[in-house]
Each structure stands twice: as structure tokens, then as C-alpha cells.
Structure 1
């Protein structure tokens, strides 16, 4: 299992909409996340920055690759057009944050 933290940015004024959409996550999307090997997915927002923590099996790369290959993930992402303004870096990769501390 590998832990990961990544950051995205939402458009100003869409904070409540972003929250509501996640309160009402499509059951099929939640299942696609689980089936991809991603668990304990938690998002926290500060202003328009949203920070996500997840645990991935066997590690980050294959878990997010599997999720990215699903039609459900494509549909979910398209539904956030105009809400999410930045989720990847210049190379098209999620904007990961380096882990600097962990305590069990």
C-alpha cells in the first residue's frame, strides 16, 4: 500500500457546488474508485485549493491508471468542467504533494 496526497484547484464561487457533488457522489463512481485499488480517499478544501489523501494498492501509479481507464472516471471528470480549474501539472500528471511526515 502506498499513501498519496494530491492537490487540485476549483473555480472561485463553486465551493458549495463542489461539496454538494461529492456529497452526492455517483455510486458507480465510488465503486470505480474502490475497484481501482484506491481507499480511504479524503478531500479537504482551503479556499479554492482541494487536498486529497488516498491509500493505493499496490501503489499509486497502477491504482490511478486503472481509475483513469474507466468510462465512469471520464464521465465524472467531464461533469466538473468549469468547476475544477487545475488538477494536473504541465505534464498531465496529478499535482502530487511530497510526504514529509507519517505517524501510525
Structure 2
């Protein structure tokens, strides 16, 4: 049974269309990276009023999820996205993990 990850990030004002375009053109190597690191059913939704991005991913393990950040492909993706969202000094997205309080299968 997969683990569920939920988190929130912030999109810069006026960047919705560009964020959507970049994800519509998600690099094949990024898709492969996510799959090989056990990520399934990855969804990001936008609350337009606040520019908050809500992420949901089903993962095989916390270790595999954490290892994504150490890959060259992920680092390039962060560099590619840093101009349209709130980021940390290493260009990783500022992300706050959410606590699951309800789930129904």
C-alpha cells in the first residue's frame, strides 16, 4: 500500500499560465525519475485566490522520495521553476508538509 504525501507550495502572482505550461511539457526524464523513485498518482492543484499549490503524491517509501532531491534531473527542474514560485536558496520549492486528517478509500 502506498504512502500518501501532501504538501503546500506558493506560486508567484501572475505565473499560473507559465506554471501550467511547464507542467504540460514535463520533461520525460523527470517523469522517469519520479516513477523510478516510486512516485505514483502525483497531483498539484492551485488555489488561485492565494496562489497556493497543493501537492498530493502516492509514494513507495520516504527514502525514495527524499532521494529525488539528490538527482541532477531534479536539481535542473528546480532551477527551471525557481523564477515562478517561492524557493529556498538551493532553488528547491518552499514546501510545507501537510498532516493528513482524513482519508477514504
Q: TM range, normalised to the smaller chain? A: 0.7 to 0.9
Kindly state the Cα deviation for residue 81 of structure 1 after the two structures are TM-superposed.
Answer: 1.7
Specify the alignment match of 1:8 in structure 2. Answer: 9
- What does 1:10-49 align with in structure 2 at a 5 Å threshold? 10-47=11-48, 48-49=51-52
Aligned-partner Cα distance in 2 for 1:23–1:96: 24
Residue of structure 2 in register with 1:54 after alignment: 57
Number of residue equivalences: 97
Unaligned runs of 5+ in 2: 88-92
TM-score of the superposition, structure 2-length normalised? 0.86
Post-superposition shift, 1:63? 2.3
Moved over 2 A (4+): none
Post-superposition offset of 1:9: 0.3
Q: Once the 2 structures are TM-superposed, how far is the Cα of residue 16 of structure 1 from its aligned partner? A: 0.4
After TM superposition, the structure 1 stretch with the greater mean CA deviation from structure 2, 23-32 or 79-88, is: 79-88
For the residue of structure 1 that corresponds to 2:86, the secondary structure is strand
CA RMSD after TM alignment: 1.1
Instruction: Identify the residue that residue 91 of structure 1 maps to in structure 2.
Output: none
Structure 1: gaps of 5 or more residues: 89-93
